[in-house]
């Protein structure tokens, strides 16, 4: 009886530990996904600024050509 209880407790502890590890991993994945999304947003903003500046330079160069 005591051996059964110990084995059952041990198996439940292993299952609970595994589930907690999965939940923690998913939490980390969500945090990383949000961080990457923010980085992508910043890169898009920088690209838009570069394109705008490039268009401005091109326009200025076209005006200066005879």
How far is residue 55 from each of residues 4, 14, 16, 40, measured CA to CA in Å? 76, 61, 58, 22
Task: Classify residue 1 by its DSSP letter.
Answer: -
If one compares 63 and 24, the residue with the highest pLDDT of the two is: 24
* pLDDT over threshold 80, residue 2: no
Task: Classify residue 66 by its DSSP letter.
Answer: -
pTM of the model: 0.65
Give the pLDDT confidence score for residue 44 in this predicted structure: 97
Secondary structure of the chain: what % helix, strand, coil (to 5)? 95, 0, 5
Give the pLDDT confidence score for residue 5 in this predicted structure: 73
């Amino acid at each position: 009886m005591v051996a059964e209880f110990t084995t059952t407790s041990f198996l439940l502890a292993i299952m609970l530990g595994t589930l907690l590890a999965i939940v923690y991993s998913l939490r980390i994945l969500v945090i990383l996904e949000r961080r990457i999304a923010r980085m992508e947003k910043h890169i898009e903003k920088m690209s838009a600024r570069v394109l705008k500046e490039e268009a401005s330079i091109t326009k200025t160069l076209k005006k200066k050509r005879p």
